[in-house]
Amino acid sequence: MKVEELRRRIPRLEAYRILKRLTMHNRIQATRGIVEAAEDLEATLLETLPDNAEVELISYSAKGVPGWMPTPRGWHLEEARVRIGGRELTSRSHPTLAAPHTPPTDGWSRGEARLVRDPLDPEEYRDAEGKVLVVKSHYRVAYRLAEEAGASGVLFYREDLPPAAVPYIGLFLPEGEDHWLPAVSIPRSMAEGIEGSTVEVYIDADTGVEPRFPVIVAWIGDRRGEGPLLSAHYCHPEPGANDNASGVAAAIAAFRALAELDPGFTLRLALFPEYTGSAAVFGNWLAGVTSSMVNLDMVGGRQEPGLGPVRVYLPPTGMGEGLARASLEASYLAGVEVALYSGGSDHDVMLGHGVPAVMVNQWPDPYYHSDWDDAYRIDPDRLRESAVLGAAIALATGVGARPSAPDPRPWMIVSRHLSRGDEASAGLARELFLGGGGSSWRPVDDSRVVRGLVPFLADYVLPGMGGEDAARLARLIDGEWNAYARELFFHARGGITVGALHSKLAAVYGVERIRGDVLVRVLEEYERLGLVEVS
Ligand SMILES: [Zn+2]
């Protein structure tokens, strides 16, 4: 199948129309808005897909989501307001103003603003009682520390956003934990010079709503047959255009084109709330019938300075050779780059189940997780190209497909090390992935076996965790968060010695970066938290 033919089958504005419709919904997890969005998506699919495709909406309760996944309690926002020095912001003009899942206030809550410079340092929260703490990173850790310190409120902002954009910071406070600290997000322009100002916060929210995690699955072919999966998360506050109405729209357009083509194998499409919905449906049954997954997350942003190109992030080395080869082939034909594994979306969940998965993604995105992530910043042509790419990869991994491209990962890893002048890591990678020999590097001398007890780690703030514990874990793995702190779970799935795990990670990320003593400390911390078993 030529990419050119797939392009002909995907009308130029099809995905863009779907995207615009979805961006009208405020799709915050565990709210009524996400249920309405799911119903509207189901309607979109029924209107769009050909007759050979079936559609099902599965609505999971919180009990349907596995316990290792931070799962928010139900939440419904009536209104939020913030007043600082004569300026007032409202949730009507900024849908991301109230940090999702924040407790309500009792009338107006007031306090003096105090900037927290290092949110992971518990000392910064001393004498914070009655103050409104202003935090620029590690929000979920800071939330717990601020609450434990008796602060009267917490304000989040982000230094990397345009000055007037209000960030989206979801708290994901689980059911069963008792929280009372109100949290809101403010633009950077209001955080500057805020120290000592009086801050007033008003939040009218209902935290007693029964949360639902609706998943939409569509398929062609055998209902129980194994086959590739196209997927995207549809959650996030309005507008959430690039993240991730774009992935949803491109996945639907790709699936529709392939359904019409009827390639003779089972093919599915799944749309879900990020991590919670995918964890529910993959663990329940979908991972068991999926041969490979193409996850689209942020794929339609208009190319401008600051926005990264679309890339296909391959599975971690040692998993999914066929998918890696098919992805290289399709990416080459579609004119996009491939990149080594990076975490942060629902492909992590599928990889945690041992099924190969790639992520198609644009990174960085200057408007990511803010109220400026709107349809204006989407390029309809870029969006269609991403649909073409998703369809091409899914087609190249279907039954009977024989990709002619090689597995690019060993070469990418070796050349990455060599471009940094890192001969030792290049030698190790050659030995491990290309059958070379003679590397003098040795892993940590530790023959204990590490086995993952959860598919992967979604966040370093786990249900029931106190602020200091969360801060310690964050300090330990923060810089490696998207890389080995997640990838090690995939390798530990069936059990692996600590030494072998050290070699695998060091070969990919570099022998200087993956220090044996730090890895052992990370594993011991994970063991203490019940995430892995080391014996
Ligand atoms: Zn996303």
Dihedrals φ, ψ of 96, to 5°?
-100, 10
DSSP for 143-172 reads HHHHHHTT-SEEEE--TTS-TTPPB-----
**Last residue of a domain, which of 154, 182, 206?**
206
Q: 375 and 241 in contact (C-beta within 8 Å)?
A: yes
Mean pLDDT for 223-230 is 96
Which residue reads 């052992």 in tokens? 520
Three state DSSP letters for 161-211: CCCCCCECCCCCCECCCCCCCCEEECCHHHHCCCCCCEEEEEEEEECCCCC
The pLDDT assigned to 251 comes to 98
Lowest mean pLDDT among 247-256, 410-419, 479-488, 495-504: 479-488
pLDDT for res 450: 97
Prediction pTM value: 0.97
Average pLDDT in the 140-147 region? 97
CA of 271 to the centre of ligand 1 (A): 12
The pLDDT tens digits of the residues spanning 286-335 come to: 999 999 999 999 999 999 999 999 999 999 998 999 999 999 999 999 99
CA of 22 to the centre of ligand 1 (A): 14
Last residue in a domain, options 206, 225, 255: 206
Q: Distance of CA 270 to CAs 155, 193, 267, 280, 468, Å?
A: 35, 45, 10, 12, 37
Give me ligand 1 centre to Cα 108, in Å. Answer: 33
Q: What is the structure's pLDDT at 347?
A: 98
Instruction: Give me ligand 1 centre to Cα 238, in Å.
Output: 13
* pLDDT tens per residue, range 470-494: 999 898 887 777 778 889 999 999 9
CA distance 135 to 118: 8
Q: Compute, in angstroms, the gap from residue 382 CA to the centroid of ligand 1.
A: 17
- Statement to judge: residues 58 and 119 lie in one domain: no
Q: What pLDDT score does 460 carry? A: 80
> pLDDT by residue (tens digit) across 63-115?
999 998 989 999 999 999 999 988 999 999 999 999 999 999 999 999 999 99
The rounded distance, in Å, linking the Cα atoms of 49 and 63 is 31
CA of 338 to the centre of ligand 1 (A): 19
- Going by C-alpha positions, the residue among 65, 100, 158, 128 that lies closest to residue 467 is 128
Structural element, H or E, at residue 347: helix 347-352
Q: In the chain, how many domains are there?
A: 3
- pLDDT band at 1; cut points 50, 70, 90: low
Distance 84 CA to ligand 1 centre (A): 31
pLDDT confidence band for 61 (50 / 70 / 90): very high
Q: Are 302 and 375 in contact (CB under 8 A)?
A: no
Map residue 424 onto helix, strand or coil: helix
Residue 297 CA, ligand 1 centroid: distance in Å: 5
Would you state the structure tokens that stand for residue 283, as one six-digit string? 């663990």
266 and 369 housed in the same domain = yes
- Choose the final residue of a domain: 187, 206, 225: 206
CA distance 297 to 236: 12
Region 353-380 average pLDDT: 97
Domain assignment present for 449: yes
Rounded distance from Cα 83 to ligand 1 centre (Å): 30
Sorting pLDDT into bands at 50, 70 and 90, what band is 463? confident
Ligand 1 geometric centre to CA of 272 (Å): 11
Rg (CA), the chain: 23
* Domain range for 121: 76-206
In a domain, 134, yes or no: yes
How far is it, in rounded angstroms, from Cα 328 to Cα 43? 34
Whole-number Å distance, alpha carbon 46 to ligand 1 midpoint, is 24
Ligand 1 centroid, distance to 185 Cα (angstroms): 19
| Burial class of residue 19 (count of CB atoms within 10 Å of its CB; 0-12, 13-18, 19+) | buried
Strands (E), 387-512: 449-452, 496-497
The pLDDT of residue 182 is above 70: yes
Q: Is 270 in the same domain as 179?
A: no
33 Cα to the center of ligand 1, angstroms: 17
Q: How far apart are CA 158 and CA 149, in angstroms?
A: 22
CATH of the domain at 240: 3.40.630.10
Do 233 and 358 reside in the same domain of the chain?
Answer: yes
Both 223 and 358 in a single domain?
A: yes
Between the CA of 113 and the centroid of ligand 1 the distance, in Å, is 31
Residue 232 lies in a domain: yes
Tell how far the Cα of 260 is from the centroid of ligand 1, in angstroms: 28
- Shared domain check, 56 and 80: no
Whether 390 and 294 have beta carbons less than 8 Å apart is answered as yes
Within 10 A of 309 (CB to CB), how many other CB atoms are there? 14
Residue 424 forms part of a structural domain: no
Distance 368 CA to ligand 1 centre (A): 9
Residues 160 and 305 in one domain: no
From the CA of 247, how far away is ligand 1's center (Å)? 8
In a domain, 402, yes or no: no
How far is the centre of ligand 1, averaged over its atoms, from the C-alpha of 349 (Å)? 14
Let me know if residue 180 belongs to a domain: yes
Strand partners, 406: none
Nearest-angstrom CA–CA distance, 232 and 236: 12
Rounded distance, CA 268 to CA 218, Å?
A: 6
Give the distance (Å) from ligand 1 centre to CA of residue 471.
24
Same domain, 377 and 231: yes
Q: How far is residue 135's CA from residue 158's CA, in Å, rounded to a whole number?
A: 8
- Assess whether 222 and 173 both reside in one domain: no
Pick from 6-15, 196-205, 334-343, 473-482: least confident: 473-482
User: 223 and 329: one domain?
Assistant: yes
Query: Is there a domain that residue 410 lies in?
Result: no
Domain membership flag for residue 454: yes
Instruction: Report the separation in Å between the CA atom of 151 and the middle of ligand 1, taken as the mean of its atom positions.
Output: 31
